[in-house]
Amino acid sequence: MLRCIDFSESSQVVALITPELGQVRGLAKGSRRPRRDGRLPLEALTQCDVVLAQKGAGQLHIVAEWTLRETFPRLATDLSRLWRAFYADEVTMAFATETAEDGIFYGRLLDLLRRLDRGGEAELALFRFLTQALEASGHRPLVEACAQCRGPLEGTPRFSPGAGGALCGNCGRGEAGAFAISRGALAVMGRLAARSDREVGGLRLNAAQVAEIRRAFNEQMQYYLGRPLRTARFLAASAGMGRPAADQP
Ligand SMILES: [Zn+2]
């Protein structure tokens, strides 16, 4: 479940990512009614088995049956992890469409939620997810060569959301919206696209690289969406602190 909104006294409208259909929206009739079996209303950041009565693509389907299968209870004990989960949730809602190909988001998001819940390396896991999400939607920034002249990243590299990735010193000079980024951060962003998780697991990031990579992803996604991600600032405020942010979205 990506998002669950109360629709009436008794029902919810939900967005979910599915392995077969990509992202779909549905009406869960009666999901808010008290039930003899103690089942609660549907909640975001949970994994459920659902039976969908499908309408046409892009329409609101009917969520006819659902069973809660997996929750991530430890996320709620660490706000920096919880916000990473909500951020990935929002990225999925923004980029996954209702197509079979975007079913790939399902496994990627589930894998990230399990990692965050287990308490493993959180920053790298989130960056890996973002790389794969942008790759799946055809928006992964080019960081291995200059996004403009396709030449090597000579001189002082910059990152340009408008150009779709890193720029060499020549192309980056005078490019509006471009900002300086270190070679180390670009190298990490390249490695994040590796096929096997093993290659990514060995990466080590310092705080400066984390900030640079986070900014590059944020601005790249904002450029494509035409708006900032709502959760980005909460993530920035809570990262590394694990304590409550001042307010909620
Ligand atoms: Zn160039």
Per-residue pLDDT reduced to its tens digit, 193-241: 988 888 887 888 999 999 999 999 999 999 999 999 999 888 888 765 5
pLDDT, residue 242, reads: 42
CA of 157 to the centre of ligand 1 (A): 9
CA of 121 to the centre of ligand 1 (A): 34
CA of 120 to the centre of ligand 1 (A): 37
CA of 224 to the centre of ligand 1 (A): 21
CA of 163 to the centre of ligand 1 (A): 10
CA of 155 to the centre of ligand 1 (A): 10
Residue 246 has pLDDT above 70, yes or no: no
Fold (CATH) for 1-71: OB fold (Dihydrolipoamide Acetyltransferase, E2P) (2.40.50)
Residue 122 CA: distances (Å) to CA of 50, 66, 115, 118, 184: 29, 30, 7, 10, 19
Q: Which CATH superfamily is domain 74-242 in?
A: Recombination protein O, C-terminal domain (1.20.1440.120)
Residue 57 has pLDDT above 80, yes or no: no
Cα separation of 166 and 73, whole Å? 38
CA of 208 to the centre of ligand 1 (A): 24
CA of 202 to the centre of ligand 1 (A): 30
CA of 164 to the centre of ligand 1 (A): 12
pLDDT, residue 248, reads: 43
CA of 24 to the centre of ligand 1 (A): 40
CA of 219 to the centre of ligand 1 (A): 20
pLDDT, residue 202, reads: 83
Q: Are 66 and 50 in contact (CB under 8 A)?
A: yes
Residue 58 has pLDDT above 80, yes or no: no
Residue 142 has pLDDT above 60, yes or no: yes
Query: What value does the mean pLDDT take over residues 86-115?
Result: 96
Show me where the domains of the chain are located.
Answer: 1-71, 74-242
**Residue 110's CB: how many other CB atoms inside 10 A?**
15
What is the pLDDT of the chain when averaged over all its residues?
91
Residue 27 has pLDDT above 60, yes or no: yes
CA of 223 to the centre of ligand 1 (A): 20
Phi and psi at 42, nearest 5°, equal -65, 145
pLDDT, residue 244, reads: 41
Q: What is the 3-state secondary structure (H, E, C) of 97-112?
A: CCCHHHHHHHHHHHHH
Task: Tell me which H or E stretch contains 12.
Answer: strand 12-18
Residue 96 has pLDDT above 50, yes or no: yes
CA of 167 to the centre of ligand 1 (A): 5
